[in-house]
Structure 1
Amino acid sequence: MATYFSSNALKFLKGLKRNNDREWFQARKDIYERGLKTPMLALVNEINEAMLRFAPENVQPPQKAMMRIYRDIRFSKDKRPYKTNVAAWWARAGLEKTSGGGFYFHFSPDEVVIAAGVYMPEREQLLAIRRYLVDHHTEMRRLLAGKKLRSLMQEFDGRRLTRPPKGFAADDPALDLLMCQQWGITAHLPPETALQPTLLKDIIERFKVAAPVVALLNAPLAPKPKRPLF
């Protein structure tokens, strides 16, 4: 049976949003472990099984795909110790330590987010994607305009620049895509979506339709296969 979350999981996240401190969390850590972490790992495993059919390069072990609930507050003025969502990120194999194209899911007190794309590319990756889009912008536009994709997800704004990036012409046919600093699609659903038996189906349906976009964005970034020495 497909995994989904309980109403107590949503109640916990709402409580954590109001009481984001260690004393509150530690007193309820068992609720987090049983009601959120355990089903999240099971859900990731089920998503992995489905992704083998349409995005095998992005399958990740559940413990690696699931993000920690603990915030890194070392360099932040915001000292709240916990994230108020449970989330997972499916990086492409070989790009786990960088910011290649991948798939994302999170469940928070406010919403369920299902997304895919390249979010924080490194400088060299940003340049590589832009150069690739110069020659493949027509294909990218075709994918983003797909009827099924548009019925399930929306393109996000991409943190667009106000002027053409250095090294690219102002009259380039791909300029609107080149002005982006990130590329992808997302769906924002009510938090109660995570409490329904259809959660796995909702995620897979969107990941599958987004997979060609992720593959295109990863094309200039993916590690090249090693050539045999002999």
Structure 2
Amino acid sequence: MTKTRKAPGRWSWVKWVFIVPVALFIAVQIYFFVQIWWWRDHEPGTTAFMRQQLAAMQETNPNAKLVQQWVPYERISNNLKRAIIASEDANFSDHDGVDWEALEKAYERNAKRNKVTHGGSTITQQLAKNLFLSGSRSYLRKGQELIITYMLETLMDKRRIFEIYLNVVEFGRGVYGAEAAARHYYRIPAAKLGASQAARLAVMLPNPRYYDAHRDTRYLSRRTAVILRRMGSADLP
């Protein structure tokens, strides 16, 4: 007499539809948390964004390499620090990692265009994306970015967040971090960047690969002048 196989019970469906995805989500968040905890006093090395860009570069040039050199916070010009805060996140020293007003404005612009074109990201959010996430734009990715952002703000002080950001942010094709950028564009160390040089580098950040190839655009010059005027009021962590 053959035994008949029982149909999967309700518990099996609950396990696969709900419990397993939740467990995977929690495991991923724990991984992010442990990584951030380690990076409080260790260098991150390459980021997810760097590895993604290197792979793209090597599709056309297998010998392509990234240029990056970690330098401590005190060896990066205060001009560059002030310029980036003035250009990217004027309230960096005061907010909890997210500028909700900027996010609301970005959401309204995206709604008008029926696609995600603006992020309203703070420096901490940009760091969260660079460390762990892809460059794709979606509300799901934005949600994960917010979770990582609050982990960063919980485990690190503003100075450490900014130090890591300054060392991993993209400044051009294959060029990452303040030291590599200063040497790539001006042939000087990051510690010696002047106000005008720093302002120009900060303005390049939203689209660094484009401005690496187009260094004399009128917009770049106009925006650099604006950031120069704002740098004096930028608060450093």
Relative contact order (alpha carbons < 8 A, sep ≥ 6): 1 or 2 greater? 2
| Bigger helix share | 2
| Bigger strand share | 1
Question: Larger Rg: 1 or 2?
Answer: 2
Say whether the fold is shared (TM-score over 0.5). no
TM-score by length of 1: 0.24
TM-score by length of 2: 0.23
